Structure 1
Amino acid sequence: MNKVNEGEISTRRRGTELEAAIIQAAWDELMEVGFHSLTIEGVAARAQTSKPVIYRRWPNREELVLAAIVHHLPAVSEELPDTGNLRSDLLLLLNQLNDMLHQIGPKTIHGLMSVLSDIPFSEILNVRRTNAMTTLLNRAAERGEIHPEKITPRITRLPVDLVRHELLITSEPVSRETIEEIVDDIFLPLLM
């Protein structure tokens, strides 16, 4: 039993409080040292817990990093644009995604992809984002801007895949001009 100094209250974090502290520590480590230098030891020290406690919840650092990313980045669908115009909505959505991917960083994305090769990357980070694109396209179809029969799963994923590809290839944020080109020259013509 630990001896408690006068005035100190001994509390042991459990459950969601402990998990929140670990996820926050993982995010802070990721932002400070990057994916390749992030260790479970570093996260444990920052969260003031032990490695076994972390490993009971996340079997490896990659899943812990994914949990931290999903927790800290806002779901695009929570801030879904609705300007009344598909092009404007797409530009807003893709720029939000671009900002989020840039915040995660190309090195983290590359690192996760190299380790989690059995899971398509689009499924890893787009769990909460693919519904956003479907929602935008369905709204546009209801307004008569596009043909609903042209909305297929592959077409729906295309603009997000192209933005992600640009970031991974260049390791730089995707320019607004490139996003406009993806929307105007590639994506919208497929829906008309």
Structure 2
Amino acid sequence: MDLVEPQRRRRGSELETAILDAAWQLLAEHGYGAFTIDAVAQRAGTSKPVIYRRWKDKHELVRAAVRQASRISRRPMPDTGSLRGDLLALADHANRERLPLAAIITVHLGSYFEESGTSPADLRDVILDGGTTVMDALLDRAVQRGEIDGARLTPRIRDLPFSLFRHEVLMTLRPVPQKVMEEIIDTIFLPLVTDDDRP
């Protein structure tokens, strides 16, 4: 007779990762409307008390799951030698790795925002967790290289390329074509942050 090996008990970060993975999968597959602590516990193979010892309610669990998913899909800062190349590389990565995250935040979490009284902007702050964005790092490096004029980088202009990127994604629900991203960078963004009088 074959012996069945008992399931190994998970603890600490391993258990927490399993719970957050289960929470993210539920959000991705069924949206916030079907998101319950019971459902997460069942999918993660754990119990409700175990989850409540780590997160006080399902709002906290949603934020933690989104933060972890964002970290997994984050890429190292590109370095192509130019701001234009870096922005195109970042957009390509976002097309391939970040669209599911964006779709869940904007489409599947509508009920969460209404119920918690928050917004996608609040969730973005949770994801950043006090850190800087890759976009900010790319722009600061471009200023140091003398490619762009740092005095022109207002907060709104800093966010402009990917605000337009997000708009394209929301309007089409598809990856943003490279020619569209090139138009955003070449005809809208770079003229705003470069010195037209430079040789």
TM-score (norm 2): 0.75
101 and 186 in structure 1: CA distance in 2 versus 1, 3 angstrom threshold: same
Percent of aligned positions that are identical? 45
The size of the alignment, in residue pairs, is: 186
Unaligned runs of 5+ in 1: 1-5
SS of the aligned residue for 2:176 comes to coil
2:93 matched residue in structure 1: 96
The alpha-carbon deviation at position 138 of structure 1 amounts to 1.8
Aligned counterparts of 2:169 and 2:163: Cα–Cα separation in 1: 10
75 and 9 in structure 1: CA distance in 2 versus 1, 3 angstrom threshold: closer
**Could you tell me whether the CA contact under 8 Å between 1:134 and 1:156 is conserved in 2?**
yes
The alpha-carbon deviation at position 90 of structure 1 amounts to 0.6
**Could you tell me whether the CA contact under 8 Å between 1:35 and 1:108 is conserved in 2?**
no
1:24 matched residue in structure 2: 21
Aligned counterparts of 1:128 and 1:101: Cα–Cα separation in 2: 20
Aligned counterparts of 1:111 and 1:61: Cα–Cα separation in 2: 15
What is the 5 A alignment of 1:113-192?
115-116=112-113, 117-119=117-119, 120=121, 121-127=123-129, 130-192=132-194
Q: Cα deviations across residues 79-138 of structure 1 (Å, max 9, x unaligned)?
A: 111111110101111222233331225254233355335342542445588431122112
Aligned counterparts of 1:129 and 1:92: Cα–Cα separation in 2: 21
**Could you tell me whether the CA contact under 8 Å between 1:62 and 1:112 is conserved in 2?**
no
For 1:23, give the aligned amino acid. L
**Could you tell me whether the CA contact under 8 Å between 1:27 and 1:68 is conserved in 2?**
yes
**Could you tell me whether the CA contact under 8 Å between 1:35 and 1:107 is conserved in 2?**
no
Aligned counterparts of 1:190 and 1:161: Cα–Cα separation in 2: 15
1:56 matched residue in structure 2: 53
Aligned counterparts of 1:180 and 1:134: Cα–Cα separation in 2: 19
**Could you tell me whether the CA contact under 8 Å between 2:27 and 2:108 is conserved in 1?**
no
130 and 158 in structure 1: CA distance in 2 versus 1, 3 angstrom threshold: farther
Aligned counterparts of 1:21 and 1:122: Cα–Cα separation in 2: 23
What is the 5 A alignment of 1:74-85?
74=72, 76=74, 78-85=75-82
Aligned counterparts of 1:68 and 1:164: Cα–Cα separation in 2: 21
**Could you tell me whether the CA contact under 8 Å between 1:102 and 1:173 is conserved in 2?**
yes
For 2:17, give the aligned amino acid. A
Unaligned runs of 5+ in 2: 195-199
For 2:171, give the aligned amino acid. I
For 1:142, give the aligned amino acid. Q
Aligned counterparts of 1:136 and 1:70: Cα–Cα separation in 2: 22
Q: Cα deviations across residues 60-93 of structure 1 (Å, max 9, x unaligned)?
A: 43432332232234364x5111111110101111
